[in-house]
Every structure is written in structure tokens, then in C-alpha cells.
Amino acid sequence: MKIHILHSIKIILFTVSLLLGATQSGPTPVYYSNQVAILMYHHIVDKPEKPHMLPVKQFRQHMEMLKTNGFNVISMDQYIDFMTRGTAIPNNAVLLTFDDGYDSFYTHAYPILKEYGYTATNFVIVSFIDNRIGIPKLTWDQMREMKEEGMSFYSHTYDSHKYAPINAKGVERPMLSHRLYLKDKKRVETQKEYIKRITDDLALAEKRLREELGNTRGGVAFPYGTFNDEVLEVLKSMGIEITFTIKKGMTTKKDINALRFDAGNIEYTAEKLAELLKGQGKSSAL
């Protein structure tokens, strides 16, 4: 008799605990829908030396915040389908992006992303991968390994992530979106020369990504976030419809050039990032 009573009490307590848990957790709030919050990161490091070097611990806190607050990380394929085909995406959709192709994506970010079951895209400066330039970058082998686990890699141009002179005085501007000064000819590029230069650069980046990773879709993150009508026309002629800027805001199907939040800035604690994203139902650009 006592055993039956104790068993009944345990069942009652278990049921109550489930009910309390359901009441406490409740359904996930909808902060926004039919929009994507695209987060931009750069370098994930142990000891940051610059504002855009995010500590590993802080990046992990960001990922934990997304999980515990009901945000849904989507893949680049899901994002492209949403933008080009109108395919449905979950509420509170988040796209994780990284710029520049630093090897810290493999050594520091990738293990954390796998732990949370998240996917992310890295926009690589392809010439830096081919020629091993500057701060250690990803290798093609590393990217192939990560692609097998759901990561994706797209273009940050082949070799146009630079400032270059636009006149004889040496004034410099981002070279993808400006006609350059040709020192040996003592003149500025013609429109035809400019279009050929940027076309060759963007096409080579896509070619190398197809050769090494088997990419079948294209997308470009503009260096420094700058672009012009000529760049857009060149990309359109190449069949590339998906582009990314560094302007803050939520991205809807109307935003051909995607907006991104600079989550890789050390000032964005997990709490501050959560507050920012949760406020997007009230404001599309904070």
C-alpha cells in the first residue's frame, strides 16, 4: 500500500514539475518574421588587439544567447532561397557571416559552431587563400572539411579588398568601386578598362571557389561595404544576385544588397546583442 502511495506521489510531483517547466519556458516569443538578422564577424581570437577581434569567450556567449533566446540560425542556402524564390524562413531568423577568411574561423569559431549545431558563411579574399598573404588565412583543405559539416564560403573578391590611388595626388579609395589612377599612363582608367578589371577580378574569385569547393551558387560581400551601379551590373551579368554590405539593419526580400549587424565588434556583449535583435520587431534598423 505504501509503495503504491509513494509511486502516486512521485507521478504527481513529476507531472507538476512538467507543468511548471512548461509555464516557465512557454512558447518562444516572435521578435520578427519574414526578415533576417545577418550578423557580421571577422577575427575570433584569444586576446583581442583591435575592436574587430572578438574574444573566443564572447563569441561563445553570443552563440549561447541565440540558443537560449529562441533565435533560429539559417544556412546561406536557406537565405538565398528566401531572397530569390520567396521560400519561407523561421521566425527570428539569423544568418551568421564572417569576412576575410582568417584561419581563426577554423581554429576558434568552427568548433563552437559545431557544438551548437550552427552553420555559418565566410566571405574569403580568394587571392589571400591562393597566395597565403598577411595574417594566417584558411586553406582550401580546411574549407573543404568545414563545407562537409555545413559551413559555406563565398567571395569577398579575388584581389580587390584594397584601397588604391584614384588620381595623380595619390588620394586612395576602395578599388572595387572606383576607377583607378594608372601611374605609368598618367591618367585614370577608362570606363571600359574599369569594367574589365572588376569583371576579371570577380569572375576569377567565382572560378576558384567552383574549382576548389564545388560552389554552384554565387554571392559577394563588398569590401568596406562599398559598391556602385557598375559593380551591380557586372554581378548581374554573372548571374550573382546575392550581395552583402556593412550597413546596419534587418534584411527583407526587398533588400537586394543585404544589411548586416557588426556583431564582431568587442562592444557587443551577448546581452547587448540580444537587446538589439529582440528590438527588431519594433524597428527594422537600429
pTM of the model: 0.88
Cα–Cα distance, 267 to 248 (Å, whole number): 15
Query: Domain range for residue 86?
Result: 31-281
Contacts of residue 252, defined as CB under 8 A and 6 or more positions apart, other chains included, come to 34, 35, 36, 284
Does residue 286 register a pLDDT over 90?
Answer: no
Q: What percent of the chain has pLDDT over 90?
A: 83
Summarised one tens digit per residue, pLDDT across range 135-172 is: 899 999 999 999 999 999 999 999 999 999 999 999 99
* 21 in a structural domain: no
* 24 in a structural domain: no
* 106 in a structural domain: yes
Helix (H) or strand (E) holding 148: helix 140-148
Specify the number of domains making up the chain. 1
What ranges make up the beta strands (E) of the chain?
A: 36-41, 43-45, 53-55, 72-73, 93-100, 121-124, 152-155, 163-165, 172-174, 181-182, 187-188, 219-221, 242-244, 257-258
Locus of grid cell 564577424: 41
DSSP 171: -
* 132 in a structural domain: yes
Summarised one tens digit per residue, pLDDT across range 193-237 is: 999 999 999 999 999 999 999 999 999 999 999 999 999 999 999
| Dihedral angle sign, alpha carbons of residues 37, 42, 48, 49 | negative
Which CATH number belongs to the domain containing residue 156 in this structure? Answer: 3.20.20.370
C-alpha cell at 137: 588565412
Does residue 2 register a pLDDT over 80?
Answer: no
State the chain's mean pLDDT as an integer: 90
* 227 in a structural domain: yes
pLDDT band at 262 (very low <50, low <70, confident <90, very high): very high
Summarised one tens digit per residue, pLDDT across range 50-85 is: 878 999 999 999 999 999 999 999 999 999 999 999
Summarised one tens digit per residue, pLDDT across range 14-46 is: 333 333 333 345 678 999 999 999 999 999 999
* 10 in a structural domain: no
* 168 in a structural domain: yes
Does residue 13 register a pLDDT over 60?
Answer: no
End-to-end CA distance of the chain: 64
Cα–Cα distance, 173 to 266 (Å, whole number): 26
